[in-house]
Amino acid sequence: MLFQDFQPLAAIATTPTAAKRLLPLALAAGATLWIPESLAGVLEANGGQDAHPTIQVYAGSLKTHLATIWHQYQGFIFGLAAGAVVRLISPLLEDKSRDPAVVVVDEMGQFAISLCSGHQGGADRLARLVALQIGATPVLSGASVGLGLPAVDMLGVAFGWTKGEGNWTLVAAAIARGEPVEVIQEVGSTLWQKHLPKGHPFYFETAEEQVTPGLQETRDLLDSSSRITNYQLPITKARIWIGFTQRRFSPESELPKVQWHPRVLWVGIGCERGTSRELIETAIERVFQAHHLAMGAIAGIATIDIKASEAGLVELCCDRNWPLQTFPAEILRSIGVPTPSTVVEAEVGTKSVAEAAAIVAAQESCLSMAKGEAADIVVGQESCLSMAKGGQDAHPTILLVPKQIFRLEGQPGAVTVAVALAEKEYTGRTGCLYLVGTGPGELNQITPAAQTAISSADAVIGYSLYIDLISPLLRPGQIVEALPITQERQRAQRAIELARWGLTVAVVSSGDCGIYGMAGLVLEELRFAGWDGKIPRVQVFPGISALQAAASRVGAPLMHDFCAISLSDLLTPWSAIEKRLTAAAMADFVTALYNPKSANRTEKIVRAQEIFLQYRDPNTPVAIVRSAYRQDEQISITTLDKLLSASIDMLTVVLIGNSNTRNYAEWMITPRGYQLS
Ligand code: SAH
């Protein structure tokens, strides 16, 4: 799942060592491992081709073979010398927006080099994933990496934005030089703006300023000259437009510009039966051209339910990867529209199909998102376009283009087109929730899989202390939301909201996220929300829990049957906790006490000690471990009767031995079996 953005993915090895190194990686990444015929026997020891359908054998030269498979894969991982890879791929490279991601892994598996298509092909991300998977260092040479800035050509990827026209190389170069870059964002999530590092070169213009004539003039002046120094505005060296309009950049302008198109436009379609795909497509293109709208900003197509299987419409949506939203006449009828028609009403039971469907789809795309995000949205209103407010909903929807009717010579049918603007973009992505355990504290106590999950996510959500601990794993451009410890449920809801919208969200918990962690909360919230168990996708990444971390610092106290009990009665009644303490003490379980004491809950640990003393010897070994594997780690080994004299707080876990546990030097040991004691 972690490598899903790079499927289909190929790995290529030409030596036995490289093949053996890449095989587990290929299996984990779901990649095809290509090897030459000469190596076919080498992997027999590992089960060979039969055991691993991942392995494919090519005949003849790698150069020829590569040319035949080059366009079949999104990414390539080469287990070859970088120089050899450069020679192999150089005749195949076309354009950095289309070339696959190319990553090279050295023979020793120490480095994963992002060789080609770093941003757009995602080779930087692929190199990070590969590096984490095999424990190598990623080698990234792109400029934005060192600056901690998101790459300009990756800005909108998390939100499903479409890349539009522009000089991406020059804008990226201006950012890399740290020159002022103006961002004019009319629509789309502004979340990316909130997670920029200090001293970033972007400055933001709002849509209102954009249509103010005076300012426009200023900008034009600034476009062509850097002589003007007495303005408040910084002197722009590049500009990023984020909007739904199709801007034509003048070739004379020296100011490099690019445009991103968030998918905010819902195209309402009404058509006669048998209307051709070509006619529908042409009609949409003409409307978009006439109103300077970007085709890349199309979220999807909306129509009446009886057109759900209209062949031309379905074919167009499939080809263009547009969702087709359909609504029954009863819903469409309830929408106020500028161009109602009684003829249409007589036929299908609503006065409007195209306009009403566009409006409803635009509204629904906002409603289907959980609330609370609205503040992150900027909606631009182009005064040149006609506007109408759709519905009485709290989410205003703007009908940008009222219905237009089209026919084409020689094409069957007729089509009406209307366009509505949604407040929030459609991402077109399937969201994912990674529920990640980050272990006790140190980075090297986090599993490689969990590290990979964290760095590959679009957004990372967690309690601020743990986010700080994992900060070296965070990637430039990632959305990082650290919330106070008390707001676990809000954290879970926020993660779900982003994932339902299409983002890949890592929710981090210390230790194991499934042990008094966020995994349960997130899954519970999903269940309450009527989750189907599939979307958003959920994957749980285990971590080293506090009891294991603490145990490892004092020896082997958990050698025999053990249990964990949390003394926090915030979510569990105290009577239930007492019952479990009694049962554990009675049954001679080694017991780990989580959440033993907080500023407001000081008596619980006293009561726990009393209960254990009823069933266990006062000399029973006890380990008190605070902040295991963190800088301020404290460990004391004591006995059950002296347990309270050690300092215990919320960062502490208490391990109480069983009747056979013994202290030995500075160690705590529970025998593997009782007969030996
Ligand atoms: N999911 C976590 C537990 C969270 S409950 C895990 O699996 O470890 C929080 C409690 O865990 C704390 O009150 C403390 O009792 C314990 N804890 C978490 N990290 C710890 C650490 N590094 N050292 C000691 N105890 C820790």
pLDDT tens-digit series, residues 421-440: 999 999 999 999 999 999 99
What pLDDT, on the 0 to 100 scale, is given for residue 437? 97
Find the 461 Cα to ligand 1 centroid distance in Å: 18
Q: pTM of the predicted model, to two decimals? A: 0.79
| Interval 7-15 mean pLDDT | 93
Task: Residue 21: count other Cβ atoms within 10 Å of its Cβ.
Answer: 21
Q: Which residue out of 438, 466, 510 has the highest number of ligand 1 atoms within 8 Å of its CB and is therefore the one to mutate?
A: 510
What pLDDT, on the 0 to 100 scale, is given for residue 49? 55
What pLDDT, on the 0 to 100 scale, is given for residue 447? 93
The residue type at 380: G
**Where is average pLDDT lowest: 130-139, 198-207, 374-383, 616-625?**
374-383
Q: Which residue out of 447, 516, 649, 650 has the highest number of ligand 1 atoms within 8 Å of its CB and is therefore the one to mutate?
A: 516
Find the 591 Cα to ligand 1 centroid distance in Å: 14
pLDDT in tens, 224-236: 333 334 445 678 8
- 154 pLDDT higher than 70: yes
Q: When comparing pLDDT for 364 and 322, which is higher?
A: 322
DSSP per residue, 602-620: -SHHHHHHHHHHHHS-TT-
Q: Which residue out of 653, 655, 656 has the highest number of ligand 1 atoms within 8 Å of its CB and is therefore the one to mutate?
A: 653
pLDDT in tens, 525-561: 999 999 999 999 999 999 999 999 999 999 999 999 9
Residues with CB under 6 A from ligand 1: 440-441, 509-512, 515-517, 545-546, 549-550, 594-596, 625-630, 650-653
> What ligand 1 atom has the least distance to the C-alpha of 546?
8
Q: When comparing pLDDT for 639 and 146, which is higher?
A: 639
Residues 6+ apart with CB under 8 A from 675: none
Closest by CA position to 312, among listed 347, 280, 341, 289: 280
**What CA–CA distances, in Å, run from 490 to 129, 229, 533, 534, 566?**
29, 47, 21, 22, 22
Interhelix angle 62-69/82-89, rounded to 10 degrees, is 60
> What ligand 1 atom has the least distance to the C-alpha of 517?
1
| Interval 449-477 mean pLDDT | 90
- 626 pLDDT higher than 70: yes
Percentage of the chain modeled with pLDDT above 70: 88
The residues facing 591 across adjacent strands are 563, 656
Find the 153 Cα to ligand 1 centroid distance in Å: 40
- Indicate the length of the chain as a whole number: 677
Q: When comparing pLDDT for 667 and 194, which is higher?
A: 667
Output the residue whose Cα is nearest ligand 1's atom 17. 546
